[in-house]
Structure 1
Amino acid sequence: MDHEEGTELEKINKSDENGDVKNNYCDVDPRLPFRRQALVSMGSFMLSFSAGATGGISAIIIPQLLKDNHGRHNHYNMNMLSWVAAMSSLALLFGNMISGYLMERFGRRTSQIILSMFYISGWVIIGFAKNMFFMLLGRFITGFCQGWLGPLGPVFIGEISSPAYRGLFLAGLSLSIASGVFMSHLFGTFLHWSHASFLCALFPLSGCIVLYFAPESPSWLASKNEIEKCRTAFYWYRGRTPVMQNELDKMLVEHEKKKEVKPKLETLKENIKKPEFWKPLSIMIVFFIVTQLSGINVICAYTTNIMEVLIGNNKNTYAAMLATDVLRVVALISACILLRRIGRRPLAVFSGIFTTLSLITLAIYLYLVDKRIIRHISPTISLGLMAVYIVVSNLGISPLPWNMVGEVFATETKGLGSGISVMMTSIAFFGTVKTAPAMFDTIGHHGTYLFYGLSTLCGTIFLYFFLPETKGKTLLQIAEHFRNGNKSKEKSLKEDNNFV
């Protein structure tokens, strides 16, 4: 059986090299697949808008809860309100736990539609919350959905998009998250947090409408042996060019090879022993933890408090917050462009190095101010260093793990691998966001940024040695790289010439 399947794959590769694939598969409009992939990806992007708003809304809620409409302090203290920021990150873990199962059981598209319903309910509960219990309940639900979406969105987009566009669309997820942070901050700057929450509910609603009319992931349909539906969905997303037809044929042969009837537990034990599972899993766990330890989400959760320290007073904090949000969005747009031209690995190393330098420099400056070596803090210098940090971190360290988690795992372990990876970032997310106020109080802002900078440095060294390049490669080629390592180098180069 294995020999026959290997022969079939060789025939497909040979027919592609010789140009024997019939040209009657060509689309009338070659731009149509891109437009369809972009349209359906927009549904996932809107859910990611909601994920960004989940992380960013606490920077609005906390200051408004600290003071009532008459300016009098109420009974909430900062320690209690830190749970408003941390509750969603705590719930991430539970969302991660079920994400892999649900995406394999119900499909990528259907899971996102169910997810959007929960997301809407969470925002509505926050909007109507009259006490801390319902506030934390709504934050838990939205955080749960954020964790649920974490592995689901990248997997879905990674499977429906062509290799040429996959990096762009996956980077669009991080751009959407940053845009969601900006929109939640913008709503909260001019509106009460309850009204801002209702507006945030429009993001998952619009995403649900788009996904309702979209086909399911072809790869998932193939794994469920729904071959005709798989072909229909694949042609709708990718078109009927010879290269795409060849990729479809290879995908179906790979799924046929794995269609042995075995107990699920036995199959799971076999899959987790494969290098194409544990190698990318190890890399992605470290990458996600490095992202959190760089302090990116701490900045989003406590933006107004951080800006007060960097400016030296509480004036213009909202303006500074919105300015950093705009910088974040611009940086992520640049990342989308650079990923198509440069690739993942160089951008990760570049971003890691300069994120480290910006954090350590900011820490040194704040230390000098704290020790009165520099008498007065200069908003130009402090905000400038923060701006550099926002830009360079969002060029690579922030978007790339979400980009690559949809690429690096083989289809049969994609749900498990992406779920575990995002689960680890959820734990790190909760830890960094919950402990940030205590770190600011005990070791100061300068000590906190120094810790984040040194953590980023260690992670960057790891990524330099172990992070592979996935730009322009099909999902099968990436799995082959982890399976055979350097032994498949010549084969991978040959396949790159065929597919890219």
Structure 2
Amino acid sequence: MAERGCPTPFLKQLFVTAGVSLNIGQFGMISGYVVAIVPQLTRPGAYIPMDDSAASWFASIHALSLLVGYSIVAKTISDYGRRVGSIISSGLCLAGWISILLAGNLTCLLLGRILQGLSLGFCLTLGPIVIAECTSPKNRGIFLASTTMCLSIGSAVVHYLGSFLHWRDTALVCSVIGFIDLIICIYSPETPTWLAGKGRFDECKKIFRWLRGDGEDEELFALIQAVIDTNCNAKTKHDSVIPYIRSKCCYILATVKKKEVYKSITIGVHLLTICYWCGSAIFSSFPIELIDSAVGKHVNTPIIIMTLDINRLMNSVLALYVVRKFKRRTMLFSTVGLTIICSFVIAGYVYAKDHGMLPSDVPIISIILLHIQMFSISIGALSLPVIIGGEIYPRKHRSLASAFTRLSSCVHVFIVNKSFLDIVKVVKIYGCYCIFGSICLYALIVCYFLMPETKDRTLQDIEDELGGTVKVVKENTTEVLLEPNGV
């Protein structure tokens, strides 16, 4: 029992999660900001003129620096800690907003997006790790789902503010949110897992019990013992660069050959494929073009965008409840399956409408289909990759495996944002939806065969299953069985 007036373990975990959620929520704000600034700067006489080519670069250039962020985050958070990584991420994002706020030319605008991309490279990798290492198994799902809720809120807020505020005013609001996030990250503790990995066991016990209370010592001792078992061999130091690089390459090659590592990376890559190709990225950055193509230019586009934002936000909140009630695999296959079905149905309907195969054009049908798809996206395709991504990576190689997986996401972000308008010109919106649906279907099939159930399980249990270790409990004793090598 917590002393009267002292924060409970849940509130302490909530505080740490708030910093992560606000940081990841910046992704929604960064993607949605395209809607706030591009229409204003592509008008004749704009202060900073922007043509279609510049607009597409503004929407996608952060994906290139995202790659750099992913490349350096693993070593940073491994050597200096998760807390330092969170502070760097928040600081870079705030610097990016300030650069955009004070920009006097296109170069400064693009510089701001580059800084934000570096920030995203940190937070998208680091966020699920921090939540997984700081929260209890029963709260882990809801806290991980909260990051998606903040992402939806960020996108909706920027869409709304951008519809009536000057683009600089919108950037100012985003800067204030970024500053609050930086303060929370500064006052958040280091994670117990990282402290244990560095041999700082007293600090690990202190922070673990501060975050989780005194009733989960069994998991604490299991964590410390796992670290001791895996850190028996001291690290080899190298006096020159070439042996150091060679040793690192050998380490990476040896690590990715481990069953629990390559399986978790494969699962993570395909979950992110679903996340970026389900259509959410297009709605965040190009909702006007999407609605014009799928519904028509004669409708009230701002109202439809607002209702879809509300849909996304409400179902992101609903996801906080659903993840506590249903198994991860059940949620993934049902919600992503519905997303895929909606993609093909929308493609078929728009194709029939554009080719005069329907008796009349009824825009409400397209709007309803978009809302059904947004429901399935926000409750599954957006939230589950974040949740499961925070649970499947092995403890010893979590930083490397997570960063390795996230390298693929910068490719997705860049391709989707840079090429969407060109794809629509070539194959129309129905062809685009067919492509998106097919990619998601492939990724879902891979997850069906590889992904374990993770709900209400400790991270060590999940790692053991991915590595081929199965625990069988028999009459107060635990028997450990090792499966044969292989997938």
TM-score by length of 2: 0.90
- Measure how far apart 1:207 and its partner are: 1.3
Partner residue in 2 for 1:16? none
Q: Give the one of 257, 261, 270 matched to 1:273.
A: 257
- Do the aligned partners of 2:48 and 2:106 also contact (CA within 8 Å) in 1? no
Partner residue in 2 for 1:66? 42
Instruction: Report the AA paired with residue 101 of structure 1.
Output: K
Q: Give the one of 151, 155, 162 matched to 1:181.
A: 155
- Measure how far apart 1:27 and its partner are: 4.7
Partner residue in 2 for 1:256? 228
- Measure how far apart 1:400 and its partner are: 1.2
- Do the aligned partners of 2:41 and 2:49 also contact (CA within 8 Å) in 1? no
SS of equivalent residue, structure 1 residue 410:
coil
Equivalent-residue separation in structure 1 for 2:48 and 2:3 (angstroms): 65
Partner residue in 2 for 1:49? 25
- Do the aligned partners of 1:59 and 1:185 also contact (CA within 8 Å) in 2? yes
Partner residue in 2 for 1:484? 468
- Residue deviations 1:466-497 (CA, integer Å, cap 9, x gap): 22110001111111111125x44668x998xx
Partner residue in 1 for 2:194? 220
Instruction: Report the AA paired with residue 274 of structure 2.
Output: V
Q: Taking structure 1 as reference, are residues 464 and 194 closer, same or farther at Cα in structure 2, changes over 3 Å only?
A: same
More helix per residue: 1 or 2?
Answer: 1
Q: Give the one of 273, 281, 300 matched to 1:289.
A: 273
Q: Give the one of 165, 168, 183 matched to 1:209.
A: 183
- Do the aligned partners of 2:130 and 2:191 also contact (CA within 8 Å) in 1? yes
- Measure how far apart 1:310 and its partner are: 3.6
Pairing 1:237–2:221 present: no
Partner residue in 1 for 2:420? 436
Instruction: Report the AA paired with residue 67 of structure 2.
Output: L
Q: Give the one of 380, 383, 386 matched to 1:399.
A: 383
- Counterparts of residues 56-205 of structure 1 (less than 5 Å): 56-68=32-44, 76-205=50-179
- Do the aligned partners of 1:50 and 1:201 also contact (CA within 8 Å) in 2? no
Equivalent-residue separation in structure 1 for 2:18 and 2:281 (angstroms): 23
Equivalent-residue separation in structure 1 for 2:307 and 2:213 (angstroms): 41
Equivalent-residue separation in structure 2 for 1:191 and 1:101 (angstroms): 40
Equivalent-residue separation in structure 2 for 1:449 and 1:130 (angstroms): 38
Instruction: Report the AA paired with residue 103 of structure 1.
Output: I
- Measure how far apart 1:271 and its partner are: 3.1
SS of equivalent residue, structure 2 residue 234:
coil
Structure 1: gaps (5+ residues): 1-25, 496-500
- Do the aligned partners of 1:311 and 1:377 also contact (CA within 8 Å) in 2? no
Equivalent-residue separation in structure 1 for 2:219 and 2:92 (angstroms): 36
SS of equivalent residue, structure 1 residue 201:
helix
Partner residue in 1 for 2:284? 300
Equivalent-residue separation in structure 1 for 2:18 and 2:133 (angstroms): 15
Instruction: Report the AA paired with residue 436 of structure 2.
Output: Y
- Measure how far apart 1:373 and its partner are: 2.2
Name whichever of 260-269 and 113-122 sits farther off: 260-269
- Do the aligned partners of 1:178 and 1:329 also contact (CA within 8 Å) in 2? yes
Equivalent-residue separation in structure 2 for 1:97 and 1:268 (angstroms): 13
Partner residue in 2 for 1:351? 335
- Residue deviations 1:171-200 (CA, integer Å, cap 9, x gap): 111111111111111211120111101111
- Residue deviations 1:362-401 (CA, integer Å, cap 9, x gap): 1111111211223754321111111111110122122211
- Do the aligned partners of 1:54 and 1:146 also contact (CA within 8 Å) in 2? no
- Do the aligned partners of 1:285 and 1:421 also contact (CA within 8 Å) in 2? yes
Name whichever of 293-302 and 359-368 sits farther off: 293-302
- Residue deviations 1:319-359 (CA, integer Å, cap 9, x gap): 22121111111111111211111021111101121101111
Equivalent-residue separation in structure 2 for 1:57 and 1:375 (angstroms): 39
Partner residue in 1 for 2:483? none
TM-score by length of 1: 0.88
Equivalent-residue separation in structure 2 for 1:443 and 1:358 (angstroms): 18
Pairing 1:337–2:337 present: no
- Do the aligned partners of 2:264 and 2:466 also contact (CA within 8 Å) in 1? yes
Q: Give the one of 383, 390, 408 matched to 2:392.
A: 408
Equivalent-residue separation in structure 2 for 1:88 and 1:320 (angstroms): 27
RMSD (Å), alpha carbons:
2.2
- Do the aligned partners of 2:48 and 2:104 also contact (CA within 8 Å) in 1? no
SS of equivalent residue, structure 2 residue 468:
helix
- Measure how far apart 1:118 and its partner are: 1.2
- Do the aligned partners of 2:347 and 2:434 also contact (CA within 8 Å) in 1? yes
Q: Taking structure 1 as reference, are residues 489 and 89 closer, same or farther at Cα in structure 2, changes over 3 Å only?
A: farther
Instruction: Report the AA paired with residue 397 of structure 1.
Output: A
Q: Give the one of 14, 32, 41 matched to 1:38.
A: 14
Q: Give the one of 287, 295, 312 matched to 1:328.
A: 312
SS of equivalent residue, structure 1 residue 190:
coil
Equivalent-residue separation in structure 1 for 2:468 and 2:48 (angstroms): 61
Instruction: Report the AA paired with residue 279 of structure 1.
Output: K
Equivalent-residue separation in structure 2 for 1:56 and 1:112 (angstroms): 22
% same residue: 26
Equivalent-residue separation in structure 2 for 1:344 and 1:470 (angstroms): 7
Partner residue in 1 for 2:364? 380
Give the number of aligned pairs.
Answer: 464
Partner residue in 1 for 2:481? none
SS of equivalent residue, structure 1 residue 110:
helix
- Residue deviations 1:258-287 (CA, integer Å, cap 9, x gap): 222033636555433321111111111122
